[in-house]
Structure 1
Amino acid sequence: MVAEDGQLLGPPAAWMLSPPVGIGLERAGFALRFALALPDRWREIVILMVAAHEDSAFERFAHRQGARAAGVTDAEIGQIQAGTFTPAGAVEAVLVQATTSLLRRAGLNAKEWSAAESALGHRAIFEVVTLVGWYRLMALQLRVFRLEPPTADAIHSET
């Protein structure tokens, strides 16, 4: 996203402070958005859970539309933000529990690991752990560099 005045919005605005690192982060971000085996709905639920946990207004703003496109309803988005989300099914419940544990304790206990391994498999667990770490990094960068979501009339999307 780019502001009307041409300035980058969100994490890429900070990445420009170190272009070689920023380019690497852009590549990693692309993989996390477009190369995961996780269903899109799950990816967006995890991202919104991190945004809620980290109180990241920009990430909530940036992922609301993607979550809707992935089948997360507005009511569910509100529930995720409020910490009252009810997962759709047993496997999604394991995903949400694993994400909650990663956010609260930065790990999974033996019971949580076993449940996640059975329901999700190693690749999905790896992807969830990576998403949580990545979006926590993004929230930190956004917070430190005071990068807030733009007003609706101040942006246009570069597609």
Structure 2
Amino acid sequence: MRLAPLEQLSPRQAEISERITSRRGGTRGPFLVWLRSPELCERVEALGAFCRFESALPLRLRELSLLIASRHFDAQYSWNAHIEKAVDAGVAREGLERLARREDPGFVDDEEQLLYRFATEILEDHFVSDETFAAGLATFGDQGLVDLIGSLGNFSMLAMLLNTFQVDLQPGRPEPFPDIHGFTRVESAGHHGGRTEPV
């Protein structure tokens, strides 16, 4: 990591760290960076907890939205932290492996493929087509779409933090993306920001 370890926490940092540990089982990874700005950390943690645990989206779609943002921003730490959670929640591993290779995941589940399409349009094109929006609204409802955008924003911010401060991968975990080594892109051919055409 680019920042030196936190040797001693201020009373406010310690208070927030204890709260994070009570909810998440430890203060690790990105929170060791967020704590440098304790008031931001408190708000980011609350938003992240809502997106992960309380959003109107089903659990598997919450986890999928995190992985889509992780792949879009090449955030290997968050991918490693959540791929098994997504699989356990019901997302097909084969589709996630294609996503990790920047291929269309081709999810068999219609909701998962629609969420992928919706998220990819806004992340890459910065707009959502009328057709995709109408399908998303019919499937996820207005609260679901608002929560999806909140989740993508939160998970994108998380990914940017992980990569900016070069938060180390979890011990013993592999690098999940074939075009990323450490914090460097090793293969630019075929890079389209997160999507390739289906084969």
| Deviation readout 1:41-64 (Å, 9 max, x if unpaired) | 111111111111111111111112
Question: Using a 3 Å threshold, how does the CA distance of structure 1 residues 112 and 84 change in structure 2: closer, same or farther?
Answer: closer
Alignment-derived partner of residue 95 in structure 1: 115
Alignment-derived partner of residue 145 in structure 1: 165
Q: How many residues align?
A: 149
Distance 1:69 1:89 in 2: 15
Alignment-derived partner of residue 148 in structure 2: 128
Distance 1:18 1:135 in 2: 18
1:78 pairs with 86, 93, 97, which one?
97
Alignment-derived partner of residue 130 in structure 2: 110
- Percent of aligned pairs with the same amino acid: 23
2:46 equivalent to 1:27: yes
Distance 1:91 1:25 in 2: 27
Once the two structures are overlaid, the 10-residue window that deviates more, 144-153 or 97-106, is 144-153
Task: Report the TM-score when normalising by structure 1.
Answer: 0.84
| Deviation readout 1:81-126 (Å, 9 max, x if unpaired) | 1223112333333212101101112221222212211222111111
Distance 1:23 1:139 in 2: 18
Alignment-derived partner of residue 44 in structure 1: 63
Alignment-derived partner of residue 17 in structure 1: 36
Task: Structure 1 unaligned segments of length 5 or more: list them.
Answer: 154-159
- Aligned-partner SS, 1:120: helix
Task: Report the TM-score when normalising by structure 2.
Answer: 0.68
Distance 2:84 2:107 in 1: 19
* Structure having the higher Rg: 2
Conserved? CA contact 1:98–1:108, under 8 Å:
yes
2:84 equivalent to 1:65: yes
Q: Return the structure number with greater helix share.
A: 1
Structure of higher RCO (CA pairs closer than 8 Å, 6+ residues apart): 1
Task: Structure 2 unaligned segments of length 5 or more: list them.
Answer: 1-19, 174-199
Could you tell me which amino acid in structure 2 is paired with residue 57 of structure 1? Q
Alignment-derived partner of residue 156 in structure 1: none
Question: Using a 3 Å threshold, how does the CA distance of structure 1 residues 90 and 67 change in structure 2: closer, same or farther?
Answer: closer
